[in-house]
Structure 1
Amino acid sequence: MSTAVVVPGSFDPITNGHLDVVERVARRFDHVVVAVLVNPGKHGMFTLEERIDLVETCVDHLDDVEVDAFEGLLVDFCRDRGIGCIAKGLRGVGDFDYELQMARMNTRIGDVETLFLPASPDAVHVSSSLVKEVARLGGTIEHAVPEVVARALHDKLADG
């Protein structure tokens, strides 16, 4: 039985909601892999290398948490590493509907189970897209992302 779990995402950028999920599963599993999605068809605000660096900085305080990138099917990434569980945070019903379909597919094609964690009350409203939009419009994002991410986001927007 695997005592490892994968927490996947694009993390463009990592938010306090993402970090909450990683911290919660790190208390329950021996090893956590934060898997940063490589999506060649999508150009994010941060490069893959920047996203990995930000995630590594944000999880540095946690033992037995590693950060890696993946492209293609998440179940293949899990199979290659001998990991049988994916952890996902859910903010609401919309997340659940989409993620339940994905979880059933992952179990069917890869024998990988998905663990759903309800978002913490402080993070239920937080998404990477919303954080970027609020930052673009000059709003406060410091409550939604770690300090290093807020600085990186402000720097990225200042650079054009």
Structure 2
Amino acid sequence: MRIGLYPGTFDPITLGHIDIIRRGAMLVDRLVIGVAINRDKGPMFSLEERVAMIEAECAVLSKETGTEIVPHPFENLLIDCAHEVGAQVIVRGLRAVADFEYEFQMVG
């Protein structure tokens, strides 16, 4: 089973997030939506509200794509979350060229 992880704060989940989830779901058998908990940020919505919004939006996507899509709150490092859920793929969105440049620098 191929497992993907799509991390973010999803505060709130947007149409852009949903588009990436739909595309990511076509690449894997199970897509885990890593809902980041960052104590330094003051989220607009509580963790429970963000998870509920993701569950509501992803129920339809899961049926459409045939992929299991589940939210998974995490507070540790992304790599630790990826190991925890058994992800082989990390799904990322790019909003602008600066996002690509940042991600490219991260890989060395």
Structure 2-normalised TM-score? Answer: 0.88
Matches within 5 A, 1:66-105: 66-102=70-106, 104=107
1:65 to 69, 75, 98: 69
SS at match of 1:90: coil
Letter in 2 for 1:11: F
**For residues 58 and 67 of structure 1, what CA distance do their matches in structure 2 show?**
11
Question: Which residue of structure 1 lines up, in the alignment, with residue 6 of structure 2?
Answer: 7
SS at match of 1:41: coil
Matches within 5 A, 1:4-153: 4-61=3-60, 62=62, 63-102=67-106, 104=107
**For residues 41 and 64 of structure 1, what CA distance do their matches in structure 2 show?**
31
SS at match of 1:89: coil
Unaligned 5+ segments in structure 2 are none
TM-fit CA distance, 1:99: 2.4
**For residues 28 and 37 of structure 2, what CA distance do their matches in structure 1 show?**
25
Q: Percent identity?
A: 40
TM-fit CA distance, 1:49: 0.8
Number of residues of Structure 1 aligned to a counterpart in Structure 2: 103
SS at match of 2:87: coil
TM-fit CA distance, 1:101: 3.2
Q: Which has the larger radius of gyration?
A: 1
Letter in 2 for 1:101: Q
**For residues 78 and 51 of structure 1, what CA distance do their matches in structure 2 show?**
20
Give a deviation string over 1:41-62, Cα, whole Å, max 9, x none.
Answer: 1111111111111111111111
TM-fit CA distance, 1:89: 1.1
SS at match of 2:93: strand
